Amino acid sequence: MRLVVITTVLVALLPGPAAAAVAPTHAPSHVEGVLPDGSTYVMDVPARWNGTVLLYSHGYVPDGAPNPAFNAPSDAVRAALLDAGYAQIGSSYPETGWVLERALPAQLSTLDTFRARFGSPQRVIAWGTSLGGMITTGLAERHGNRFAGTLSMCGLEQGGVANWNSTLDPLFALRTLLTPGAATPLVRLPDQATAFASIGQLTAALDAAQATPEGRARIALAAALHNIPAWTDAAQPRPAPGDYDAAQRNQFGVLHLTIYVGLSWRQEAEEHAGGNMSWNTGVDYGRMLERSSVRDEVVALYARAGLSLAGDLASLAAAPRISADPGAVRYMAEHISFSGRLIRPMLTIHTTGDPLVPVQVQHAYADAVADAHRSVLLRQAFVDRGGHCTFTTGEMLAAFRTLQRRIDMGRWPDTSPRALNRLAARLDPSAPPAYLDYRPAPYPRPFNLTH
């Protein structure tokens, strides 16, 4: 049985006729090294390389954390693709944190190093997860002629400006509604000490508010402004429809992470940008709530608490707003926001219950691609699961195989959930796939370079 499964996987992953030729047989190679910018890189080339190299971009690494190079989203995916003949490469990037400015050149340098050592591949496919999905999209839009196609998984497809704008909104709501009159800094954070002081103040207010019906309603409103979903953890059961208490508890837990990311990671990003890159001047939070995917939960919890939702929205409208520093906005637009101007096919996949990068980011990117009149090059698929980047091996391999077939055939194959699930089940019989028909709600505050 094991031989049958492995054979099925290899047949499904092998390139089609357009890339049938393979490089000469040689000993498998595992190469590690250092780029001129200080990035480390890792390369794996199988004995019978099929001529395709996959350039993988990894996710966000906080400052101070270990930063090794990666060339695949998981060991299981790497092994399956090596067995099928694919070379795989990737770098660490030269630094940690919000490193978009230097990550794209590091990835291109990794590709150049591969060419110098192993020769020119027949084709290159870029792919990545989380922040690496954002880097992959940047490679697709700015260096698309170097790639046959791209696969962005759980990526920040809303772009940098939209990301930091949307991350500001729930923190602004928490500060305004849970600590009225407080001057807790949310932007222009000069150092991590300041960021952590703000984290402590907002987290304490969040924890205290969770003890009362009024506080829980306000927490739900803050979560709704960021579209934090009801199901946020694949290891926990999905809340039943209408179980707003379970949904709110999940969102309360996630908001601790949102506060940390929105202040500690923001401080690091502001250092790169040279100031505050986000704003909420002119934002109508009532209109944003109307478009939120969890609006009904907020309305129900406010009614149960006997609290005026209109009154709290008025408080948000009246609170002093935050303006951006134009130079920092320009930096974040450059490193990186999106135009949607694809020149090669791109496939994106995202979980519906992503608490860190809400699935609505895919709506934002689809809008940008439509504005650029390139929708024929984009397909998006969704996995019905809580958690950030919680794809099965089969789901990732099925997405890769589908993109590969689009490259081979010059037209999209069947990208329906049924087709993706069927393929994923063949490639990884051990885990049930969960692609589904899904259309995300609008992103709270989209921003793309075509506007």
Tell me the domains of the chain and their CATH numbers: 2-159+336-436 (3.40.50.1820), 161-328 (no CATH)
The residue-averaged pLDDT of 278-299 equals 97
Label residue 356 left, alpha or beta by phi (over 0 means left) and psi (-120 to 50 means alpha).
alpha
Say what the pLDDT of residue 11 is: 36
Return the ∠ at Cα 203 (arms to 199 and 206), rounded to 5°. 145
| DSSP category for residue 239 | P
Parallel/antiparallel/unpaired status of strands 87-91 and 40-45: antiparallel
* Extended strands (E) in 116-155: 123-129, 149-153
| Calpha distance 240→235 (Å, rounded) | 15
| Calpha distance 81→212 (Å, rounded) | 51
Residues 401 and 52: beta-carbon distance below 8 Å = no
Cα-Cα-Cα-Cα torsion 302, 307, 311, 317, nearest 10 degrees, comes to: -50
Residues 25 and 85: beta-carbon distance below 8 Å = no
Say what the pLDDT of residue 26 is: 63
| DSSP category for residue 144 | G
Two structure tokens written together for 186: 């949310």
| Calpha distance 1→113 (Å, rounded) | 40
> Which of 404, 360, 401 lies closest to 382, judged by CA?
360
Put simply, whether the predicted model's pTM sits higher than 0.85 gets the answer: yes
- Beta-carbon neighbour count of residue 257 at 10 Å? 14
| Calpha distance 115→318 (Å, rounded) | 58
| DSSP category for residue 290 | H
Say what the pLDDT of residue 9 is: 38
The residue-averaged pLDDT of 332-342 equals 97
| DSSP category for residue 82 | H
> Which of 183, 177, 108, 179 lies closest to 147, judged by CA?
108
Side chain identity, residue 127: W
- The helix/strand count (H/E) of the chain reads as 16, 9
- Beta-carbon neighbour count of residue 297 at 10 Å? 24
pLDDT above 50: residue 19: no
The per-residue pLDDT for range 67-107, each reduced to its tens digit, is 999 999 999 999 999 999 999 999 999 999 999 999 999 99
The per-residue pLDDT for range 165-203, each reduced to its tens digit, is 999 999 999 999 999 999 999 999 999 999 999 999 999
- Beta-carbon neighbour count of residue 311 at 10 Å? 9
What are the residues whose beta carbons fall under 8 Å from the beta carbon of 120, sequence distance 6 or more? none
pLDDT above 60: residue 17: no
Return the ∠ at Cα 264 (arms to 94 and 177), rounded to 5°. 155
Q: Which of 28-32, 63-67, 220-224 has the highest mean pLDDT?
A: 220-224
pLDDT bracket for residue 143 (50, 70, 90): very high
Burial class of 77 by CB neighbour count within 10 A (0 to 12, 13 to 18, 19+): buried
Residue found under tokens 């809400």: 358
The per-residue pLDDT for range 214-258, each reduced to its tens digit, is 999 999 999 999 999 999 999 999 999 999 999 999 999 999 999
> Which of 209, 271, 211, 236 lies closest to 353, judged by CA?
236
The residue-averaged pLDDT of 368-379 equals 98
